[in-house]
Chains A and B, each alone.
Chain A
Amino acid sequence: MDIKRSDLKLYARRALKGNWGIMIGATLVSMGIAYVFTLALEAVLFAALGSGIRALSGLFSSAAVTVPKSNISIGALIVILIILYFVYLVAMLLISIGYQRLYLDAAAGQKVKVATLFWAFTHRPWKFVLISVLIALLEGITTVPIYIMSLAAALTGGSGFAAAFLLVYEIIFLIVYAYVLLTFSQFYLILVEAPEKGIFEALSESQRLMKGNRGKYFVLCLSFFGISLLAAFSFGLAALWLSPYVGCTMAMFYLSLKGSVPEALKHSPAETAAAGAYSYTGQTFYQEQPVPQEGTYYQQAVQTQQQTGTYYQQPVQAPQQTEAYYQQPAQTPQQGAYEPQPTQAPQQSYEPQPPQQDAASGSQQPNNYQ
């Protein structure tokens, strides 16, 4: 990777230019979904609490609280609560994967839309759920020694050894955890780009991509500290813009590792517009195309009619009284001729004629072509 960190950020900002509204809209949609789920969870939780209070008021006759009876038992409410919480976790996980896809699309110069947020719901969702469960299990297993030592220290009363062990363990764990995180940091992006890949294939590819680039990725992550602090000062308001920026920069880093950063992003909008203006034929890469001239339109019309064979049947209606018209080669279409005919001299020259001086009267003849 030979792209500088500042350039990666610049490319990310260019990729997001014009897409900020969609990105913020996606964030608001996901926040709205999370809010609805939270409201539902709170409603079920309070209903369960109400049932609990009812049960307690039944046990103690002196209870001052009188709660109206409900048809739903507390057991059913707890089951609903657990199921709803599970659905909430899965939905938020898949939406977070959709975010990765959204950022990757933006970084790759693809069309960005809010519906991409739900991309993971239709692309192997259980695979992503399984991966998250496995990661959570692994993280849980790593905390087992901490609990065991804490329990042993509490039972034996020897807290000195336990404290030293926990300190050393935490330091080693932190180093190993950071190394693993950096090594497999591209795992999700690889799967999001190609969901048909296997888990171990994605892990090995991430390891291969990150070889020699872990430090760069670490510094890239650290470089967002300052702007994140500013976003915190704005009470999270700036996070609406900052989250897509960080995500898109990470996606750009991934593309740079693969060597597939879009060429269009390497040129500033001003350069792009200028290049599009200087080169009329241009490339599809340039968004700013110059306005076609009349003469150009005429040339294209002639070429089209020549290709379709209609040129020699129906003469092209040239624009009247324009300079562009006179720049065209003087050809007189032949009615009914299907083969190209040699150019014949027109009856009237299409080239602008200089005003003819009438020797006798000295007056100028009107020029009909100007």
Chain B
Amino acid sequence: MNEQTVQPKDDNSMALGSMVVGIISIVTSCCCCGGIILGSLAVVLACLSRVETYFDKRAKTGLICGIIGMVLSIAAGLVILVYLAAAGSSGLAGSGIYY
């Protein structure tokens, strides 16, 4: 009797979700906290999707994208803060530079 080998189903939807949210976090990293919110969510989902002893490829992608999204979002926030501080100290804020 020839036995049919059954391949394990690739149904780790949480890893897929992590990847999608991670990519969106990079896209929205320049927006208000989008990178931090979605990036941290992607990292959490990636961590929770690991049911094997190794990380799923999509989960790994989501993890990396989430971390990148968080870092970019923090960097964008810092840039905005530095810019506002510089504008405030040089008196640009009152000179109509924002108009």
Contacts and interface: CB of A to CB of B under 8 A. Distances in A.
A231 B95 CA distance: 42
A234 B40 contact: yes
Contacts of B40: 230-231, 233-234, 238
Contacts of A233: 36-37, 39-40, 70
Nearest to A14: B51
A288 B51 contact: no
Interface string B1-40: 1111111110010100000000000000000000011111
B45 interface: yes
A241 interface: yes
A268 B37 contact: no
Interface in A223-254: 227, 230-231, 233-235, 237-238, 241-242, 245
A241 B37 CA distance: 14
A278 B38 CA distance: 41
A276 B3 CA distance: 11
A97 B56 CA distance: 34
Contacts of B51: 10, 13-14, 17, 268-269
Contacts of A269: 8, 51-52
Contacts of B65: none
Interface string A314-327: 00000000001001
Contacts of A241: 44-45, 48
Question: DSSP class of A's interface residues: helix, strand, loop or mixed?
Answer: helix
Contacts of B1: 280, 293, 295-296, 324, 327
B48 A234 contact: no
Interface in A271-305: 272-274, 276-278, 280, 288-291, 293, 295-296
Interface residues of B, number: 28
Given A227-B47, A238-B41, A290 B3 contact: yes
A37 interface: no
Contacts of B89: none
Interface residues of A, number: 36
B90 interface: no
Most A-side CB within 10 Å, residue of B1, B2, B6, B44 = B44
Most A-side CB within 10 Å, residue of B41, B53, B70 = B41
A20 interface: yes
Interface of B: 1-9, 12, 14, 36-41, 43-45, 47-53, 70
Given A10-B53, A235-B37, A296-B1, 7 more contacts: A13-B50, A16-B48, A231-B44, A237-B41, A245-B48, A278-B3, A295-B1
